[in-house]
Amino acid sequence: MNAAPAILTLSDVKYRWPGRASFALDITEFCVAPQERVLLLGESGSGKSTLLSLICGTITAQSGRVCVAGTDITSLSAGTRDSFRAEQIGLIFQQFNLLPYASVLDNILLPLRFAPQRRARVAAPSETARALCANLGLPDDALTAQAGTLSVGQQQRVAAARALIGAPPLIIADEPTSALDAATQSTFLKLLFEQASTFNSTLLMVSHDARLAEHFDRVVQMSDVVQTGRAAA
Ligand X SMILES: Nc1ncnc2c1ncn2[C@@H]1O[C@H](COP(=O)(O)OP(=O)(O)O)[C@@H](O)[C@H]1O
Of 9, 11, 49, 71, which one interacts with Mg ion (CB under 5 A)? 49
What is the smallest separation between the CB atom of 48 and ligand X, expressed in angstroms?
A: 3
- Quick check: 207 binds ligand X (CB under 6 A)? no
Binders of ligand X among 48-107, rule CB under 6 A?
Answer: 48-50
133: left (phi over 0), alpha (psi -120 to 50) or beta: alpha
Cβ distance to Mg ion smaller for residue 112 or 163: 163
Residues comprising the chain, all counted: 233
Nearest to 47 by CA among 18, 26, 32, 68: 26
- Quick check: 16 binds ligand X (CB under 6 A)? no
- Quick check: 186 binds Mg ion (CB under 5 A)? no
- Candidates 17-25, 107-115, 135-143, 212-220; binding stretch for ligand X (CB under 6 A): 17-25
Torsion, Cα of 85, 88, 90, 93 (10° steps): -30
What is the smallest separation between the CB atom of 98 and ligand X, expressed in angstroms?
A: 20
**Which DSSP letter does residue 230 get?**
P
Question: Interface with ligand X by CB under 6 A: which residues?
Answer: 17, 20, 23, 42, 44-50
Question: Interface with Mg ion by CB under 5 A: which residues?
Answer: 48-49
